[in-house]
Structure 1
Amino acid sequence: MRIAMISEHASPLAVLGEQGAGGQGAGDGATGGEGAGGQHVHVAELAAELVGQGHDVRVYTRRDSPALPDAVPTGDGYQVWHVPAGPARRLPSAELLPHLGEFGRWLAGQWRDGGWLPDVAHAHFWTSGLATVHAGRRAGVPVVLTYHALGAAAARRQRDPRHAGPPGRLGYERALGRAVDRVVVQSQEEVGELVRLGVPRSRMALVPAGVNERIFRPDGPVAPRDPARPRVLTVGRLAERMGLQEVVRAMPAVPDAECVIVGGPPVGLLPADGFARRLTALAESCGVADRVRLVGAVPRAELAAWYRSADVLVAAPWHEPFGLTPLEGMACGVPVVGTDVGGIADTVVDGLTGDLVPPRDPRALGVAIRRLLADNVRRFAYATAALDRIRSRYSWRRCAEQLSAVYASVGAAARPAPAMA
């Protein structure tokens, strides 16, 4: 199949030049502007797997720099096209909205007149969805949408209406769910959120994302550590919603263990980062400053070594639509203590591959970490089950196969029935 993937604000090319986890990096770090999260990683690895399964893939992203060429071939066999829509600089979502019609018209013109008409277009994020529906209707191309994050869910989980995004986002998300041919959801929680928005359940296909098992695996280098001190690891951007404050507040309940936080700006810039300074001050007030270490950004190729160095991975966000870092840790054979939110509630099976606790509850978090660190048998059992779960449910191969079936079904529905003889 010919598959167009639209990721207007999160280019997969960022994976090649990323600075590391939590900065412009892997997992749940941020890149490419508001709402990008790990989307650039998701799109890059999904596109590569689809090509590996024999599909012809092009990824379209907005030209946010005048130096970018029209199209860039990648070593994974797909092309990245830079769409001229609006000023050639990075824009927040609110400033992007007026240019999405231009983005859609450019796509429709390319598909109608450029000699390459996709069988299906897969939009990533709601802003991409607006442009893709615009193009799909003009070029006769069926549209699949992955939201990656929903504004209403973010605002409710973070208890702050500002996290809903620009004015009108809720209405756009609702309308898109009814306009596209299929919505690809990534967790059971997202299914419920969309039903509350009024999106028909019949339009949804539950297809969780995958994890790169070539990078994230149990064998390989291990980051240096003190063998006499248990290591608690957390990975992600330095942001309040990631629950890092709760992790630090939980550490007094975990005597002797060290807490390593991977993410944020490069280590040399951490002293200038306001959130990093707040975490350091919190660690001092909790009496655990000597056991909390901020590492800063880590190159994606080195991130697995940090996972493998941990006794327990903690993922404690208040809100997480999918949550890539627990998957990466599980793929490295590390048991997870996570908050019972979003995709983490699906990927981490409580009592089997890890433990789930309520968000914003440092006491429960501390108890769960202490209990797991004290039980070698339980940690080994969790790690073994986590690996089995990754290999059976969360490979990119499985994800691409499931999406291929979705693409085929919407493509078949869009094609006119053959004429009767």
Structure 2
Amino acid sequence: MRVAMVSEHASPLAVLGGTDAGGQNVFVADLARALGRRGIEVVVHTRRTDPTAPGRIPFAEGVVVEHVDAGPPAPIFWDRLLPWMPAFARSLAGSWSEVRPDVVSSHFWMSGLASLEAARPLGIPIAHTFHALGVIRRREQGANDRSPEERLGIEAMLAREVDRVIATTTDEAFELIGLGAPAEHIEVIPCGVDVERFRPAGPAAERTEHPRVVVVSRLVERKGIGNVIEAMATVPDAELVVAGGPAAEGLGDDPAARRLRALAEEVGVADRVRLLGAVGREALPALLRSADAVACCPWYEQFGLVAIEAMACGVPLVASAVGGLAESVEDGVTGLHVPPRRPDRIAAALRRLLADQP
């Protein structure tokens, strides 16, 4: 069996933590590996961002990453990629005409658009995962949403036209039905976690004697890291360790990192807040195990992989009661729910969890 995975901006080869590399990259990489282990031939099609990168790169057993020439071979933020999707679709159609996949697994709305244009004339079925819906983003961000105007209409068309839509939460499934997706075409499959890698037993990262709160996230405003920093002002003696963003040596030049450091100074916790920069997947379990609590406090979140990774490591969470986090984190059992954008409630939940440590 052959599966073509399409992830136009989220390459499984990307270094995580930047503004354009996060949970979707992990999802695509882990799904590709799992399919490959089952003897399925997998090609992951992603946009070329480096002119020197090989056209095809072996990624895992049975898995190859293929770089698609669509637009300048340079990093371009995803919200500016729509004009290059026709070229992306033409490349897919050429590849699939030569070696026909049995099914296309597309990820994110622009990948879905390119996949539909390429696959429909060839009669190849498509299973699409949105990862994030524009209707939710527009609702939560309002005028700050930088998505192309065409996004909402394209997502509604995809919800109706693809053969299957994979939702990661029941909340997303209801949103998809609202977009016109036939209920019988929706499969709710929550994100999984590698429990061999993320488990309570194992090495933990070095730490001080102070209670430790860990955040693992891209350094974008909607992830709520600023709210956690504000909360630390009333969580005495605890330290906050933030993993995400560019490599450590690049934090000084990163606007988001500078904003967070300035906020920490402003609320008087700069000596208790440490930004690590990007942390590799291989080091993440040890970092999570070093925490007394993990904070996942975004303003909205379709799923939230870090939450289930922390739970798999046996670490309690403070999590916003939004999107997938409202389903994956069991309030009072695996963590505590808080309203988004409420530093006071985040602080109260952290104090409660840290007071419960042995």
Using structure 2 for the length normalisation, give the TM-score: 0.93
CA RMSD of aligned residues (A): 1.9
Q: Which amino acid aligns with 2:6?
A: I
Q: Which amino acid aligns with 1:371?
A: R
Relative to structure 1, the CA distance from residue 300 to residue 164 in structure 2 (aligned partners, 3 Å threshold; closer, same or farther) is same
- Deviation by residue 1:108-135 (Cα, 9 ceiling, x = unmatched): 23223x2x32111110110010111111
User: Which of 124, 130, 138 is equivalent to 2:121?
Assistant: 138
Which residue of structure 1 lines up, in the alignment, with residue 340 of structure 2?
359
Q: Alpha-carbon deviation of 1:181?
A: 0.5
The answer on whether the counterparts of 2:292 and 2:357 sit within 8 Å (CA) in structure 1 is: no
Q: Alpha-carbon deviation of 1:148?
A: 0.8
Q: Residues 272-291 of structure 1 correspond to what in structure 2 (within 5 A)? A: 272-291=253-272
Partner of 2:201: helix, strand, or coil? coil
Which residue of structure 2 lines up, in the alignment, with residue 151 of structure 1?
134
Q: Using the alignment, how far apart are the partners of 2:271 and 2:80 within structure 1? A: 44
The answer on whether the counterparts of 1:152 and 1:164 sit within 8 Å (CA) in structure 2 is: no
User: Which of 19, 22, 26 is equivalent to 2:17?
Assistant: 22
Q: Which runs of 5+ in 2 are unaligned?
A: none
- 2:173 aligned with 1:191, yes or no? yes
Q: Using the alignment, how far apart are the partners of 2:237 and 2:65 within structure 1? A: 48
Q: Using the alignment, how far apart are the partners of 1:79 and 1:358 within structure 2? A: 42
Relative to structure 1, the CA distance from residue 195 to residue 135 in structure 2 (aligned partners, 3 Å threshold; closer, same or farther) is same
User: Which of 77, 83, 98 is equivalent to 1:98?
Assistant: 83
Which residue of structure 1 lines up, in the alignment, with residue 62 of structure 2?
77
Q: Which runs of 5+ in 1 are unaligned?
A: 24-28, 32-36, 378-421
Q: Using the alignment, how far apart are the partners of 2:224 and 2:79 within structure 1? A: 26
Relative to structure 1, the CA distance from residue 287 to residue 92 in structure 2 (aligned partners, 3 Å threshold; closer, same or farther) is closer
Relative to structure 1, the CA distance from residue 291 to residue 66 in structure 2 (aligned partners, 3 Å threshold; closer, same or farther) is closer
Q: Using the alignment, how far apart are the partners of 2:262 and 2:222 within structure 1? A: 18
Using structure 1 for the length normalisation, give the TM-score: 0.80
Partner of 1:102: helix, strand, or coil? helix
Q: Using the alignment, how far apart are the partners of 2:69 and 2:264 within structure 1? A: 47
Partner of 1:40: helix, strand, or coil? helix
The answer on whether the counterparts of 2:233 and 2:269 sit within 8 Å (CA) in structure 1 is: yes
Which residue of structure 1 lines up, in the alignment, with residue 192 of structure 2?
210
- 2:264 aligned with 1:269, yes or no? no
Which residue of structure 2 lines up, in the alignment, with residue 8 of structure 1?
8
- Deviation by residue 1:279-325 (Cα, 9 ceiling, x = unmatched): 22322332322222222222221121111110000101102111111
Relative to structure 1, the CA distance from residue 364 to residue 46 in structure 2 (aligned partners, 3 Å threshold; closer, same or farther) is same
Q: Alpha-carbon deviation of 1:371?
A: 1.1
May I ask how many residue pairs the two structures share in their alignment? 358
Q: Which moved more, 1:173-182 or 1:216-225?
A: 216-225
The answer on whether the counterparts of 2:57 and 2:66 sit within 8 Å (CA) in structure 1 is: yes
User: Which of 72, 84, 103 is equivalent to 1:120?
Assistant: 103
Q: Using the alignment, how far apart are the partners of 1:285 and 1:94 within structure 2? A: 32
- 2:219 aligned with 1:219, yes or no? no
Q: Alpha-carbon deviation of 1:93?
A: 4.1
After TM superposition, where is structure 1 displaced by more than 4 Å over at least 4 residues in a row?
Answer: none
Q: Using the alignment, how far apart are the partners of 2:328 and 2:79 within structure 1? A: 32
Q: Which amino acid aligns with 1:358?
A: P
Partner of 1:318: helix, strand, or coil? coil
The answer on whether the counterparts of 1:151 and 1:164 sit within 8 Å (CA) in structure 2 is: no
- 2:167 aligned with 1:177, yes or no? no
Q: Alpha-carbon deviation of 1:80?
A: 1.4
Q: Which amino acid aligns with 1:3?
A: V
The answer on whether the counterparts of 2:216 and 2:242 sit within 8 Å (CA) in structure 1 is: yes
Partner of 1:327: helix, strand, or coil? helix
Partner of 2:282: helix, strand, or coil? helix
Which residue of structure 2 lines up, in the alignment, with residue 403 of structure 1?
none
The answer on whether the counterparts of 2:79 and 2:146 sit within 8 Å (CA) in structure 1 is: no
The answer on whether the counterparts of 1:6 and 1:121 sit within 8 Å (CA) in structure 2 is: yes
Higher relative contact order (CA 8 A, sep 6+): 1
Q: Alpha-carbon deviation of 1:165?
A: 0.4
Structure of greater Rg: 1
Which residue of structure 1 lines up, in the alignment, with residue 293 of structure 2?
312
